[in-house]
Amino acid sequence: MSKAMKLYFQRFVDYNKSMNEEIAKYNIGKRHLANIMGKDVNNFTERDINDAINYLFPSGLYNIGARPMMQNPEKTIIKRKEAEFDESGRPLHFLYYTTKPNYYEILHNIMASLNDLNKMEDEKRKLNLSFSTAEKLTLSDSIWISKNKLESLTHEDLSQTEYIYFIKSISKLLVHPLSKYAESFIMKYRTMLPNIDETANIPKPDYDSEKRPFVLVERCARKNARGQVKVIGNGSGNIVINGQDITYFKDMQCREQVS
């Protein structure tokens, strides 16, 4: 076995040891948390854990990532993919020595797909064929996957520069006039945006004596406070809160949320 393989396997053993220790700590914490809440440990789900953390450690922080949390290490720590070697110790992946073979394989496939589309484009131009708008993708209902999602797909740590390079590379594929033929490949790295439910109960506006549309919502909830909100179309642009203007709120953040 080569020194490189020995070094890799040693790192993999250390990684598994560290992961097992984190999982053990998580299970101990989960057991203590279940006992505190008077729940059965065996039926204590992740939702129960989140509810217990919110109850025991209430937080007014607006950034969810800054609030107290307790998550399974298997979900928060990026998994390392085992290297595949043949009997002689040579790695099976042709991009192994790039140190990030899965990432560079994606870039390789992007370029291969782009070359295929360019060949199709050249053939159409030689035959003087016109390009149809149906042959180009319009993906307004989706966005590129996040850096974290890309890292989970590749099982590799990526820098922000590498992620930006990936976005720039695959964006060339999307803007190609024949991108429709690479739709299945492109959609692997797109996240669909949530659609507005057409069956949602959207209140219809009423009209006041001046024929201005307005919507009145009773008992709007904000933490423990309840209020009445009235939005008027073609109004003056003024905000009135209990007979006062926006300065009713002393805190600047509250003013920004209202406006």
Please give the distance of CA 190 from its chain centroid, rounded to a whole number. 10
Residues 52-105 have pLDDT tens digits of 988 888 877 777 778 888 888 887 776 666 656 665 667 777 787 888 899 999
> What are the sequence ranges of the domains in the chain?
3-76, 96-192, 206-257
Residue 205 has pLDDT above 80, yes or no: yes
Closest by alpha carbon to 105, among 91, 117, 121, 119?
A: 91
Spatial CA neighbour of 187 closest among 113, 244, 84:
113
Spatial separation of the C-alpha atoms in residues 140 and 133, rounded to whole Å: 15
Residue 131 has pLDDT above 70, yes or no: yes
User: CA 34, CA 23: separation in Å to the nearest integer?
Assistant: 16
Tell me the CA distances in angstroms from 59 to 50, 54, 71, one per residue in order: 13, 7, 17
- Is the pLDDT assigned to residue 142 strictly greater than 70? yes
- Overall pTM > 0.85: no
